Structure formats: structure tokens, C-alpha cells
């Protein structure tokens, strides 16, 4: 039974060894490793590249991340999934977008050999989509993303990686709107089409509970449609108004519907919490306790969904 959390800023706060020790002491045995934390695409667009590790040669990047793998092994933590740099794509109306999008794609591709080193097979890559005001026509958005994701097929095969799409949202002022892959039928169509193009299973889906909640989506019905395409999760809560990334039961998500959905699809992946906001809410002295309670909630979900032994 794999239970874990996204790494977010934890290594900045506790160091590499201290971060993995915290996850271990909190009762977790896996993480969603955030490559995005080390690759700020917007800083790159502004020309602020000095501290962006993904601008360097692959060998140097690998050596930078090797201590993370060593510390994970030390504490018995599996790097179950990883989050690619994002945004994966910025609107072509934005200055320097062509160069930025080329770099973003290159940075994502540089993650593949890192995954091999880290013994991780799942890479979560956000779809390409603009903001609310510049929303693309459905066919144009489909073509853009099919081109984008299919460009990763060769690397996914070479490094034995499953690329995961994720359900997204956009905002206009304080109002949240559905974006690409929130419609589970659309999300399923993307995964199926890309796997057909690959000729094998190289794509899956990471369902984000918080993103679904923001648009008023029923988590049970959505999971049922997505079915076994769901190979990863981002589990977090919010108030239905902001993408707050807080722990389960700190918001308004119907967790009984979530449990019912997990059971319906016989989910086989890890229960991975994306609760980085806790790192800013709690003092460091309480961090382990905060994550421990969340780990217990994750275990509860799996047990109630009959996905794990008591």
C-alpha cells in the first residue's frame, strides 16, 4: 500500500535528508517528486535562467538529482510519480512564447532519464492550454495537445515511462471555469488516442481531486468514466473557490464519493496527497504531525475502498 505526498518546497525547508525523513516519520512510503520546483518556466521566459537546473547538460542535471534518490532509498521512500516542469506551454500571444515553449518541451524530455535513475515510471505532464480570455476552439486544442503529447512517445518508450495527463481549470477574476481534461469523456479520448498512436500503453491519467472540486465535479461519476486510465492521483481539498491544496477534510470535498469512486474502478496506484500548502500553514516543528494525519486519511480511503488490507 503506497501512501505519500508531493515534495513541493519541503527540501528547501528541511534539506534533502530531512525532507525524506519527515515523510518517513509521518508514515508515508512514497512521494510525487516535483521537478517543476527546479524549473520555473516563467522565470525562463523573463531570461532569469541562472538557477534553472534544466538549462544545464543532462549529465549535470542527473548528478544534481542523484542525492534525492539516495535519501529516498535511505528512508525506504519510493519515488512513485513525478511532476514535470509546468506550464508545459504558454499562449503564443505572450512575448517570447516560441522560445519558452521549446525550452519547456526540452525540460520535460530531460526528465525521462532522471526517472530511470530514480526508478520511477509515472510522469505527470500538464496539458497545453491558454487562459480564459484566449480559450482555443475544441478542435484546435485537441490538435495542439495531440502534437504535444505524441512528441513524448519516443522517450516514454525508451525509458519505460507512462505519461499522465491531468484535469485542469482556468479562472476569470474569482470565478473558476472548467478547462482541458475536466470532462472525463474528453480525458479518456486523449489517453486512448495517444495510446493508439504509441501502439502500446504509454499514457494514463492523474486525477486531481481539488481541480475537480473547483468546477463542481462529482468525483465518483468522473472516476467511473475514467476507469483504469487513472494510474495516479493528486489528492487534496479546498473550499470550492480557490486551489488551496489543503489536506482532506480541511475543505468541502465529498470524500465518501471519492472512496466510492476508487472502489468502482479498483484503483491500483498510490494514494498521493498534493498538500504543499501545509508546509506554509504549520511550523516546522508540527510538520510531521500534520503529514501524519493526512497519511492516516489516505490509508482510511484505501481501506474503506477495499484496496488495502486493514
Phi and psi of 94, rounded to 5°?
A: -80, 140
Question: Which three three-digit cell numbers place residue 187?
Answer: 480525458
Per the domain annotation, does 280 fall within a domain?
yes
Question: Which three three-digit cell numbers place residue 214?
Answer: 473547483
Contact yes or no for 230/205 (Cβ under 8 A): yes
Per the domain annotation, does 309 fall within a domain?
no
Q: Say whether pTM exceeds 0.95.
A: yes
Per the domain annotation, does 229 fall within a domain?
yes
Task: For residue 239, give its domain range.
Answer: 3-304
Per the domain annotation, does 310 fall within a domain?
no
Per the domain annotation, does 96 fall within a domain?
yes
Helix residue ranges, H only, the chain: 10-25, 41-45, 58-74, 97-118, 138-150, 153-158, 184-198, 209-214, 219-226, 255-265, 278-281, 287-304
CATH no. for residue 110? Answer: 3.20.20.150
Per run of 10 residues, the mean pLDDT along the chain (length 310 residues) is: 96 97 98 97 94 96 98 98 97 95 98 98 98 94 98 98 98 95 98 98 98 98 98 98 97 98 97 97 96 98 85
Into how many domains does the chain fold?
1
Per the domain annotation, does 145 fall within a domain?
yes
Predicted pLDDT at 308: 72
Per the domain annotation, does 67 fall within a domain?
yes
Amino acid at each position: 500500500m503506497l501512501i505519500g505526498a508531493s515534495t513541493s518546497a519541503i527540501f528547501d525547508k528541511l534539506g534533502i535528508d530531512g525532507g525524506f525523513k519527515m515523510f518517513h516519520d509521518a508514515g508515508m512510503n512514497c512521494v510525487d517528486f516535483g521537478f517543476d520546483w527546479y524549473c520555473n518556466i516563467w522565470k525562463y521566459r523573463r531570461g532569469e535562467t541562472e538557477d534553472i537546473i534544466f538549462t544545464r547538460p543532462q549529465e549535470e542535471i542527473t548528478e544534481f538529482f542523484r542525492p534525492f534518490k539516495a535519501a529516498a532509498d535511505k528512508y525506504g521512500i519510493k519515488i512513485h510519480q513525478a511532476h514535470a516542469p509546468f506550464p508545459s506551454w504558454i499562449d503564443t500571444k505572450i512575448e517570447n512564447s516560441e522560445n519558452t515553449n521549446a525550452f519547456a518541451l526540452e525540460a520535460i524530455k530531460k526528465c525521462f532519464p532522471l526517472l530511470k535513475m530514480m526508478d520511477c515510471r509515472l510522469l505527470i505532464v500538464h496539458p497545453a492550454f491558454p487562459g480564459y480570455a484566449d480559450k482555443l476552439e475544441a478542435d484546435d486544442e485537441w490538435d495542439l495537445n495531440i502534437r504535444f503529447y505524441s512528441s513524448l512517445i519516443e522517450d516514454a518508450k525508451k525509458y519505460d515511462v507512462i505519461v499522465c495527463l491531468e484535469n485542469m481549470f482556468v479562472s476569470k477574476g474569482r470565478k473558476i471555469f472548467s478547462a482541458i481534461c475536466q470532462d472525463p469523456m474528453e480525458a479518456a479520448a486523449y489517453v486512448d488516442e495517444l495510446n493508439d498512436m504509441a501502439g502500446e500503453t504509454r499514457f494514463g491519467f492523474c486525477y486531481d481531486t481539488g481541480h475537480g472540486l473547483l468546477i463542481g465535479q462529482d468525483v465518483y461519476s468522473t472516476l467511473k468514466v475514467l476507469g483504469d486510465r487513472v494510474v495516479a492521483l493528486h489528492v487534496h481539498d479546498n473550499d470550492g473557490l480557490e486551489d488551496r491544496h489543503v489536506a482532506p477534510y480541511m475543505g468541502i470535498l465529498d470524500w465518501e464519493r471519492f472512496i466510492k469512486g476508487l472502489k468502482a474502478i479498483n484503483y491500483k496506484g498510490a494514494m498521493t496527497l498534493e498538500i504543499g500548502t501545509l508546509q506554509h500553514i504549520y511550523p516546522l516543528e508540527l510538520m510531521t504531525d500534520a503529514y501524519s494525519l493526512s497519511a492516516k486519511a489516505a490509508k482510511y480511503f484505501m481501506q474503506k475502498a477495499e484496496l488495502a488490507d486493514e
